[in-house]
């Protein structure tokens, strides 16, 4: 029992490390200001559509994001609840605060108005870092954030490569969000087509990293 609890704690720590790395990438992406990520284009489109028809005071982009994540969790609880773990809740709870911290630390890099080419490099680096962190979170086997779970579950159920499925899911998010009124930019397109393949590259390496940490912990 102690062994199981110890391993769970280690997996959660690995997940939090991966979440921090992933949201460093998200922060660089956001600070580059060249377009929202695919999931947030969808959120933005749904928010703007609802905003045209209702005037709820609580209707904000952030609240719309949380509701959509909650609905994804409800669907997955019906489809296969094994994907919903403590890490899913941790990703929802800590993602925003981690981005806020990195934004305060790194905003100086973008204060003077960088040339487009430099922002593109920052954005691409952000996508690569995001993909690395995301694969560490996935391989921690402690849970994955709701928006990342969509591609992961489809990949597992169809037995298709995660990278390909991620591209299809991200492009679907962008298309649906754009049709509903969301705004896309060059960063949105780069993110949609870059994160999946880079994640494919990092997945086996992140799995070896997690396995090594667990072996060291068991030997301790």
pLDDT, tens digit, for every residue of 160-184? 999 999 999 999 999 999 999 988 9
pLDDT, tens digit, for every residue of 92-109? 888 888 888 898 898 888
The phi, psi pair for 177, rounded to 5°, reads -65, -40
- The number of angstroms, rounded, from the C-alpha of 167 to the middle of its chain's C-alpha atoms is 13
User: In this predicted model, which residue has the larger pLDDT, 159 or 62?
Assistant: 159
Residues 102-131, buried b or exposed e (16+ Cβ, 10 A)?
bbeeeeeebeeebeeeebbebbbebbbbbb
13 vs 136: CA distance, rounded Å: 11
Indicate the burial class of 61 (C-beta count within 10 angstroms; 0-12, 13-18, 19 or more). Answer: middle
Q: Is the pLDDT of residue 130 over 50?
A: yes
Indicate the burial class of 65 (C-beta count within 10 angstroms; 0-12, 13-18, 19 or more). Answer: buried
User: What residue spans define the domains of the chain?
Assistant: 2-219
Q: Is the pLDDT of residue 129 over 80?
A: yes
Structure tokens at 25: 């990438």
pLDDT value of position 156: 93
Q: Is the pLDDT of residue 205 over 60?
A: yes
21 vs 115: CA distance, rounded Å: 25
User: What's the whole-model pTM score?
Assistant: 0.88
Q: Is 55 helix (H, G, I), strand (E, B) or coil?
A: coil
pLDDT, tens digit, for every residue of 26-80? 889 888 889 888 998 998 899 889 887 776 677 777 788 888 988 999 998 888 8
> 157 and 5 in contact (C-beta within 8 Å)?
no
Sorted by sequence, the CB contacts under 8 Å of residue 121 that are 6+ apart come out as none
Reference 146, options 79, 72, 75; nearest CA is: 72
Q: Is the pLDDT of residue 125 over 80?
A: yes
Confidence category of residue 121, pLDDT binned at 50, 70, 90 = very high
9 vs 5: CA distance, rounded Å: 6
Specify the DSSP class assigned to residue 124: H
Confidence category of residue 3, pLDDT binned at 50, 70, 90 = low
pLDDT value of position 155: 94
- Write the DSSP string, 18-47: HHHHHHHHHHHHHHHTS---HHHHHHHHHH
């Amino acid at each position: 029992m102690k062994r199981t609890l110890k391993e769970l704690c280690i997996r959660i720590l690995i997940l939090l490390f991966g979440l921090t790395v992933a949201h460093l990438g998200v922060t660089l992406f956001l600070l580059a200001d060249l377009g929202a990520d695919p999931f947030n284009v969808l959120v933005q489109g749904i928010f703007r559509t609802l905003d045209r028809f209702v005037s709820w005071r609580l209707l904000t982009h952030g609240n719309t994001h949380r509701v959509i994540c909650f609905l994804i969790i409800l669907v997955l609880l019906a489809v296969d609840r094994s994907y919903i773990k403590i890490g899913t809740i941790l990703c929802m709870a800590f993602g925003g605060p981690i981005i806020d911290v990195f934004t305060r630390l790194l905003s100086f890099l973008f204060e003077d108005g960088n040339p487009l080419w430099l922002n593109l490099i920052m954005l691409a680096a952000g996508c690569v870092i995001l993909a690395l962190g995301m694969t560490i979170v996935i391989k921690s086997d402690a849970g994955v954030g709701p928006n990342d779970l969509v591609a992961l579950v489809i990949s597992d159920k169809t037995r298709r490569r995660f990278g390909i499925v991620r591209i299809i899911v991200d492009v679907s998010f962008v298309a649906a969000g754009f049709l509903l009124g969301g705004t896309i930019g060059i960063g949105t397109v780069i993110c949609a087509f870059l994160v999946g393949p880079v994640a494919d590259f990092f997945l086996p390496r992140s799995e070896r990293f997690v396995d090594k940490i667990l072996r060291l912990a068991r030997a301790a």
